Amino acid sequence: MAEFLGDFTTPAGRFAIVAGRFNALVGEALVSGCRDALARHGVAASSVDLAWVPGSFEIPLVAQTMAASGRYQAVICLGCVIRGETPHFDMVAGQAAAGVMRASLETGVPVIFGILTTDTVDQALNRAGLKAGNKGADAAMAAIEMVNLLAALARG
């Protein structure tokens, strides 16, 4: 029985980050954590492209476009949707998640879901580096691991 694992060695190639500007304080912290984690694992800053979109709902289209371009080993999606007083949260968060998954499945490129879905601003800030680590960094690590796992699967 074969067992396949991804690791955290520096993969060759380029990475893309797609980030939502809405809730910019949180989004910028996620991007910073993502870039830092990529750099700490040997990915040169010149090998990382960043596309800003208006909000989390717009992330999947740009992520799919970048993934389908053939230029990137992985696309990392970062944003923040904070629950409000209307059902808007459920629609945006659900569709963003479904769109990110669809982009990955349709392109065969790891498209990583790093979009925070929180009840409060404090929860979002905590997950963007204030208290509970930085989910942007976690998304970068997932991207590296998935790139290396897919390479291992291709080698058989």
Q: What would the pLDDT profile of 5-59 be if each residue is shown by its tens digit?
A: 899 999 999 999 999 999 999 999 999 999 999 999 999 999 999 999 999 999 9
pLDDT value of residue 49: 98
Catalytic residues: 88
Q: What is the fold, at CATH topology level, of the domain defined by 35-151?
A: Rossmann fold (3.40.50)
Whether 130 has a pLDDT exceeding 90, the answer reads: no
| Domains in the chain: boundaries | 35-151
Whether 88 has a pLDDT exceeding 90, the answer reads: no
List, for residues 66-83, the tens digit of each pLDDT value. Answer: 999 999 999 999 999 999
Alpha-carbon distance values, 4 to 7, 17, 93, 109, 150 (Å): 10, 26, 31, 17, 9
Whether 84 has a pLDDT exceeding 90, the answer reads: no
**For a pLDDT cut of 90, what percent of the chain falls above it?**
89
pLDDT value of residue 90: 86
Q: Is the dihedral of CA 36, 19, 77, 12 positive or negative?
A: negative
Tokens of 69: 């371009």
Average pLDDT of the residues of the chain: 95
Alpha-carbon distance values, 107 to 36, 101, 114 (Å): 26, 10, 18
